[in-house]
């Protein structure tokens, strides 16, 4: 496929909605609240936001720049930008493998959210005890075929959208899904803060107590900030190739990071006041969403309605992320293997479904299969979060800061001199020195067993 045949995003809003959708996912609404809860609340939030804009935005600009400059998929980008240094192709292959593995286990959790929309709408949780709600989750995840069914539904829905192309599929869907996501989140926030006793949750989230911060919390904030923005997996390189040449990459990156952070904070506002209002623990871990929150919805007026809203919100957030993960693979199939978009989508989605089914069954029939003490689901999660993503982001920072010339990066960020780049020296210093050091620390800490 030649560049003349490529269709990019038709508008700046479409580009921002799609890229923000890639960044905004289950990590913001499922993982972020319990990470904040486990690390002291407001102080962790302050450090997280600092890292998002100090390191996340410069790296995001770099990833988008690589894609837009090359106008190619994540593998083709390194062929174009580094034709004489073939070693950089390994970074493209790493991105493809990372996207494939992440989508495989991520689709399982996405399927859980769809199931919980159905369970909430049917009133399955109403009147149940906390022990019974936990049992519902355990029985569902260990079932021999139901989780696979819901995971398959999610994979199929993602495939339908991606098959329609960049403008009619990805951009059009994200321009609808992202506003709906914000509206649902706003409604949930209003309901949560009006609950009796909600002020304790607000204080926990926005009243920082830095005495609760230690080295582990700082590393967790750094890791959460970098990974929440979808850095190091190829999404932003792929989407960057669809961004128009006249768009301002600094402005685009700041808006995306702001939207991502806003959703994360709003998820805290939606969850913590309700958790405190009903005397539950904010540090409940991954079970916070699927086992703790149904108890909260049980105890509030119109709880069934708000439960449906919440899990629908989770499903939308997951969908905008799986769209970007699949597009990384489909763009490679179209541009490097010269497949039609439909064929590439079907082949990639089939592979994802098969591997995702194995991940889903690792909670049930395949739970006895472990590698290094980890189930298949946990192994893929560990490999991608602890090793592949940090290595990919670190290598990309080195590529941008040290392999691309100063003239190349300045030209792309300034839109060939049409934009003022008074920030350029600071950006280049961060990408060349600060970001690689931070990413190396995250990689080493993760290897030593510090969880993010």
The answer to the question of residue 271 being in a domain is yes
Which domain does 383 fall in, by range? 3-447
Say how far apart CA 330 and CA 338 lie, in whole Å: 10
Say how far apart CA 3 and CA 189 lie, in whole Å: 44
The answer to the question of residue 383 being in a domain is yes
Say how far apart CA 412 and CA 192 lie, in whole Å: 44
**What's the CATH code of the domain at 32?**
1.20.1740
The DSSP code sequence of 255-313 is HHHHHHHHHHHHHHHHHHHHHHHTT--TT-TTHIIIIIHHHHHHHSTTHHHHHHHHHHH
DSSP state of 211: G
Taking alpha carbons only, the member of 404, 415, 381, 331 closest to residue 5 is 331
pLDDT < 70 stretches in the chain: 1-6, 30, 280-288, 450-452
The answer to the question of residue 105 being in a domain is yes
pLDDT tens track for 262-290: 988 888 888 888 778 777 666 555 566 78
Q: What is the pLDDT of residue 272?
A: 81
C-alpha pair distances (Å), 3 with each of 12, 26, 70, 73, 292: 20, 33, 10, 11, 50
Say how far apart CA 279 and CA 197 lie, in whole Å: 9
Q: What is the pLDDT of residue 194?
A: 86
The DSSP code sequence of 193-218 is HTSTTTHHHHHHHHS--GGG--HHHH
The answer to the question of residue 285 being in a domain is yes
Q: What is the pLDDT of residue 3?
A: 43
Q: Are 41 and 205 in contact (CB under 8 A)?
A: yes
What is residue 93's three-state secondary structure? helix
Q: Are 385 and 226 in contact (CB under 8 A)?
A: no
Q: Are 211 and 44 in contact (CB under 8 A)?
A: no
- Give the pair of three-digit tokens for residue 188: 């949930």
Q: Are 16 and 252 in contact (CB under 8 A)?
A: yes
Domain count, the chain: 1
Say how far apart CA 134 and CA 141 lie, in whole Å: 11
Which residues fall within 8 angstroms of residue 214, CB to CB, at 6 or more apart?
A: none
The answer to the question of residue 452 being in a domain is no
C-alpha pair distances (Å), 430 with each of 54, 233, 400, 411: 8, 20, 11, 18
What is residue 27's three-state secondary structure? helix
pLDDT tens track for 325-380: 999 999 999 999 999 999 999 999 999 999 999 999 999 999 999 998 999 999 99
Phi, psi torsion values for 371, nearest 5 degrees:
-130, 120
């Amino acid at each position: 496929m030649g560049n003349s045949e490529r269709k990019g995003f038709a508008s700046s809003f479409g580009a921002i909605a799609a890229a923000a959708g890639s960044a905004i996912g289950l990590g913001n609404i499922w993982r972020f609240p319990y990470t904040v809860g486990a690390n002291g609340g407001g102080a962790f939030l302050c450090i997280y936001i600092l890292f998002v804009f100090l390191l996340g935005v410069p790296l995001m600009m770099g990833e988008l720049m690589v894609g837009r400059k090359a106008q190619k998929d994540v593998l083709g980008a390194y062929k174009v930008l580094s034709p004489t240094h073939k070693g950089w192709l390994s970074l493209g292959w790493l991105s493809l493998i990372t996207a494939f593995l992440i989508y495989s286990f991520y689709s399982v959790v996405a399927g859980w959210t769809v199931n919980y929309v159905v369970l909430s709408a049917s009133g399955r949780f109403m009147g149940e005890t906390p022990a019974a709600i936990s049992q519902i989750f355990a029985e569902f995840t260990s079932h021999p075929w139901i989780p696979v069914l819901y995971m398959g539904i999610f994979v199929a829905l993602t495939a339908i959208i991606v098959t329609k192309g960049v403008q009619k599929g990805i951009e059009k869907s994200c321009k609808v899904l992202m506003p709906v996501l914000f509206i649902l989140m706003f409604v949930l926030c209003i309901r949560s803060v009006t609950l009796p006793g909600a002020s304790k949750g607000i204080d926990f989230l926005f009243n920082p107590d830095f005495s609760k911060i230690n080295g582990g919390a700082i590393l967790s904030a750094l890791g959460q900030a970098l990974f929440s923005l979808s850095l190091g997996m190829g999404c932003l390189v792929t989407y960057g190739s669809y961004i128009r040449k006249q768009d301002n990459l600094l402005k685009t990156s700041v808006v995306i990071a702001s939207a991502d952070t806003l959703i994360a904070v709003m998820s805290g506002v939606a969850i913590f006041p309700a958790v405190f209002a009903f005397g539950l623990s904010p540090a409940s871990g991954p079970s916070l969403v699927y086992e703790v929150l149904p108890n909260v919805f049980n105890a509030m007026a119109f709880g069934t309605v708000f439960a449906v809203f919440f899990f629908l919100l989770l499903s939308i957030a997951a969908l905008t992320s799986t769209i970007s993960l699949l597009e990384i693979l489909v763009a490679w199939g179209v541009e490097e293997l010269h497949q039609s978009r439909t064929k590439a989508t079907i082949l990639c989605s089939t592979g994802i479904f098969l591997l995702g089914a194995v991940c889903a069954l690792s909670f049930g029939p395949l739970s006895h299969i472990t590698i290094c003490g980890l189930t298949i689901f946990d192994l893929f999660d560990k490999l991608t979060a602890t090793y592949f993503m940090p290595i990919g982001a670190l290598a990309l920072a080195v590529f941008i800061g040290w392999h691309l010339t100063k003239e190349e990066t300045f030209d792309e960020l300034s839109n060939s001199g049409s934009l003022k780049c008074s920030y350029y020296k600071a950006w280049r210093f961060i990408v060349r020195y600060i970001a690689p050091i931070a990413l190396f620390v995250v990689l080493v800490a993760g290897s030593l067993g510090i969880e993010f």
